[in-house]
Chains A and B, each alone.
Chain A
Amino acid sequence: MLVVWLLAVALAGSLITLFMPQQSAKVAAGIIGAIIIGVYVALLMHPGQGVNVRWIPAWGIRFHLGSDGLSLFLLGLTVVMTEIAILASKAEWGRTYYFWILFLEFGSLGLFSALDLFLFYIFWEVVLIPIFFLLTSWSGPKGRRAAMKWLIMNLFGSLFMLIGIVAVAVIHTQPAGPLTFEISQLVNIHMDARVTPWVFAAFFLAFAIKAPLWPFHGWMPDAYGEAPAPVTGLLAGVMSKAGIYGFLRIMLPLFFPEFVQYQTGLLILAVIGLVYGAFMALRQTDMKMVTAYASLSHLGMIALGIFSLTRVGILGATFQMVAHGLMVGGLFIILGLLEQRTGSRDIAAMHGLNASAPRMAAYFLFFALATLGLPGLPGFVGEYLIIQGLVAHEVVFAVIAVIVLVMAAWYMLRVFQGIMQGPDKGQKILDLKAGQVWWIVPLAGLVLLLGVWPNGITAHAVPSLYHAVHLLAAKGGGV
């Protein structure tokens, strides 16, 4: 039941902000975000059954929401990152902005807790809208174009997914199954070998665009670059996980034999993204673009973990989704503050800012180190598990992955040092204010905790993760 409350509070909260005076919308949104975190903590303590009732009986569609080990921490990521995005936003952006942020939270929470495929699809579409409006109205000069690309590419993908969903449901009725969209029941489907590749491709396209995975990232550079920093934080931190989550929640249980069949091709696709993103990040001069392509590279790494089709690799991907969300989200928000204060995103235009903003430099470095996979911080945990999953049978991919880890150290330090260190040329900026330290310290603390004690997530995620991909054990996916 608490899952439903989570969604209800988010939806009601978003509507409440819409009726707030412009100046106090941020405060209201912050309070609502905190209440949602409170509900989430309650959910964490009593992970209940959720709700499962008939919705559109004629089509067998059910209103089925729930949380398990796979989604529980992604719900947590959503509520934490949304609250931080709210706190990092400017009050003068007004009530509509905060309405869309909370509405995005509502959509994301629904996306991560829907257990009926049709309901999942609805939330999948719901999240497109707030991002579209956040991109058009609160973004940089190219915001409209970015929004357009976001909408077109994602609608394109989800159109295919809709076809896939209908196909799966219809095939499931034959020869004698009931019409249903329950994911847990659709798993038992028997598909014709001529149809399966097309259905697989339909889902894959939608998820790969949303993440994005290479080569479906065409919308990403403009959207990440133009969106206000907190929105970029949400896009890279939370929304990118929706695509990956789709692989784990829907595709792996439905199409496990196809994954085995296409494994090499999928691994190659993922590794290209991993390497391609790293090379792009290495040569960017725009600090936000370095992080954007780094994020593309990380998503390639997460995809490698899933496509390794081993328990440990998939566990690594699951862990990395949460870790990456917190780390990259934090990094983008700090870059946004930096952009506000220097008026630039060009690495070459900034020098030695550590002298005037040591706190900002310290947190920047912390999140950069976490993203580059420093052992002791959570990026390393996910990467370790993913590589552990690859060494057994796909050692070539493991070797490429670790080479990219060295590149990550190179490109992240290049940005950090370019901006924060070097001769002091008289450029002065304002350091983090006390109010900003207030939200950044808990975020950093959370990141540190995950690095030192990853078992807090892995031990809980495992049972339902293996339930979700229960076929793995049957098909002999070992360590």
Chain B
Amino acid sequence: MQLLVEILLLPIIGAVTITTFKGLMPKKLPGIWASVLVGISFLLSIMADVHLGQLAVSHRMVTGTLWTWISGFGPSIGFRLYLDPLAGIWLLVITGVGMLIHIYSIGYMHDDPGEARYFSYLNFFIFAMLLLVLAGNLIVLLIGWALVGLASYFLIGFWYQRPSAVRAAKKAFVMNTVGDVGILLGLALLYVHYHSVGYGHLFTIFSHAAPGSAFFEWTAFLLYVGAMAKSAQFPLHMWLADAMEGPTPVSALIHAATMVTAGVYLMARLYPLLRLAPDVHYLVGAIGAFTAIFAASIAIFQQDIKKVLAYSTLSQLGYMFLAIGVGGFMAGVFHFMTHAFFKALLFLAAGSVIHALQGEQDLSHMGGLVKKMPWTTFAFLAGTLAISGIPPFSGYFSKEAILGQAYNSGHWLLWAVGVLTAGLTAFYMFRLFFLTFFGAPRDAHLHEHAHEAPWVMTVPVVILGVLATIGGFFKGWLGNWLAPTFSAYPGASHAAFESGPLFGTVITVGLAIIAIILAYWLFLRKHLAPRAGIARGFGRHAYQAWDMDAAWTWIAVNPFKTIGDWVRPVEQGMLSFINGVASAVWLWATDLRPLQTGYVRRYALSIMVGLGALLAYYLIRV
């Protein structure tokens, strides 16, 4: 328990000290200080997990209440922490990948005037994310849930003088608030019925309940809305593409590796509830599969290196939800882990490219960087192979686990969508890879000045490259580690890893290889420009992300503004009525003014004197 508190406290101490003393700190200190604190947090997380592993399998959890959060209307709700194997995995990834990205940021942000502010936000994010996964009940989870949203808001809008960044930050915050209130309603419903929001208590009740009642469907749906917003599932996904306005390491940490997977965490955490809500459970998988292929179709046509990666994140999150939907909870968690490695790697490598090209993100200014940045190219290739699902890279294993489970559980449609998306993924990722690093440089001037990133940035990238390559071999260990979590309550009968049919693997990998060859042929042989295909038809709409922004503006934003404009005249009418009355009284009062003002003063005076005398009397008497 004490260890958990220390893990939580270190990053928030960092955020507070950096904010308070940033004026006094030498220029490089905030970055180092922030990284060291997260590093210690990482070591303590390993210790906590080791401790957890030594407990008996049937009691593999550490839990405790720090203080009573609220009481007085029913059973009290405590500020409760909870560590089990599921939270333990997230703990390691948050602090481990978080530490690497902190270190990388020292190099990436070194000439930004807001460097100290950046690191205080980053530390604050780590704190909030740890609170989210270490929460012992839904209230504490919701607090962490909202605070990561706030950290994300800070960091998307980090360059607050850019109007686009400010807009993106607001959009992300408001869309995430939709998710927050979903969780709020869901937990309020659970409290009304079961007088508790704590995991253990609720799950025990769930394990005795019969599935399928409307109450469970609604509760599960509301909590899923929360997951949907945070993990950018269709139709609450647009904020994530815009979130790329933040500094690139932030995109790697928050908008790829950790925060956006909070929805996956929540769904895996709530597996006993999903058993009771079969319709919502299916919906999770269906929307996941749709998000996967939908985002992949957009990624093919993007022009901005970060936008491609953003849509690929959306697509991979879709895979994770697909896994949850078909009951493959472990597969979902496994894909979260490998994705954290390879996607953080891809973003950091892309950050090195952007850094080398003085902030240029447009693919039409890149090309031929392999000679200038060999290490980055090599690392990026590892990440690309991993995300494309080529054996033996990590992504192959986790994607196989998901698709195998989808096939075995009889969700053939979801399986087919997943397989097709795998092919699309390989295509758009290799398009990106070839257009960035190979072919002739499309901007001679930028290419001239490009250079490999400093070691403080390259080393984290290389470490992540190694993890992205070998991460798949953690599968056996992960299966054993997570088993206690998913066997504690009924509802996760297919959670363990299952292998799918051989022909499935052959098709998936085969499609990916064909896609790679196609990308090679189109972009390196035929020298297709990055902008190819976006002029009209399918390409144009996909490039504009299927016009979802306009649709949202039309469906949600404008109606609210219009109603606001209708309310204004109503208010004007009410106010002018009151003004009329006031003026009438004022006119009438002018005739009696001497009397009237005198009256108010005397009124005040007499009350004061009377009360004063009375008070004095009783004070003296007692």
Binding site for B on A (CB under 8 A): 1, 4-5, 7-8, 11-12, 15, 51, 53, 55, 63, 103, 110, 122, 125-126, 129, 132, 145, 148-149, 152-153, 215, 218-219, 221, 276, 279-280, 282-283, 311-312, 315, 352, 354-355, 369, 374-376, 380-381, 383-385, 387-388, 391-392, 398-399, 402-403, 405-407, 409-410, 413-414, 417, 420-424, 452-455, 458-459, 461-462, 479
Contacts and interface: CB of A to CB of B under 8 A. Distances in A.
Contacts of B177: 405-406, 409
Nearest to A110: B611
Nearest to A413: B170
B577 A218 contact: yes
A479 B608 CA distance: 44
Contacts of A355: 161
Contact of B611 (A11, A153, A402, A421): A11
Given A129-B604, A406-B178, A420-B160, 11 more contacts: A1-B622, A11-B608, A110-B611, A125-B607, A276-B571, A376-B143, A387-B185, A398-B188, A402-B185, A405-B177, A461-B72
Interface stretch (B239-247, B464-472, B474-482, B578-586): B578-586
Nearest to B69: A455
Contacts of A454: 69-70
A218 B577 CA distance: 9
Contacts of A145: 579, 582-583, 586
A152 B180 CA distance: 42
B612 A11 contact: yes
B73 interface: yes
Interface of B: 67-74, 76, 79, 139, 142-143, 145-147, 150, 157, 160-163, 166, 169-170, 173-174, 177-178, 180-181, 184-185, 188-189, 191-192, 195, 560-561, 563-565, 567-568, 571, 574-575, 577-579, 581-583, 585-586, 600, 603-604, 607-608, 611-612, 614-616, 618-619, 622
A392 B184 CA distance: 14
B73 A282 contact: no
A479 B619 contact: no
Contacts of A218: 574-575, 577-578
B243 to A, nearest CB: 15
Closest 3 CB pairs of A and B: A218-B578, A462-B72, A283-B564
Contacts of B192: 388, 391-392, 479
The interface centre, meaning the residue of A110, A312, A388 with most chain B CB atoms within 10 A of its CB, is A388
Nearest to A130: B604
B560 A282 contact: yes
B78 to A, nearest CB: 9
Contacts of B69: 453-455
Contacts of B160: 352, 354, 420-422
Contacts of B157: 417, 421
Given A376-B143, A455-B76, A422 B184 contact: no
Contacts of A374: 146-147, 150
B72 A376 contact: no
Contact of B568 (A280, A311, A352, A455): A280
Nearest to A314: B73
A458 B195 CA distance: 17
Contacts of A15: 612
A479 B174 contact: no
A422 B614 contact: no
Given A63-B618, A461-B72, A406 B185 contact: no
A407 B561 CA distance: 11
A215 B611 CA distance: 34
Contacts of A388: 73, 188, 191-192
Contact of B586 (A4, A148, A354, A398): A148
B70 A423 contact: no
A210 to B, nearest CB: 15
Nearest to B67: A453
A42 to B, nearest CB: 15
Nearest to A7: B615
A1 B586 CA distance: 43
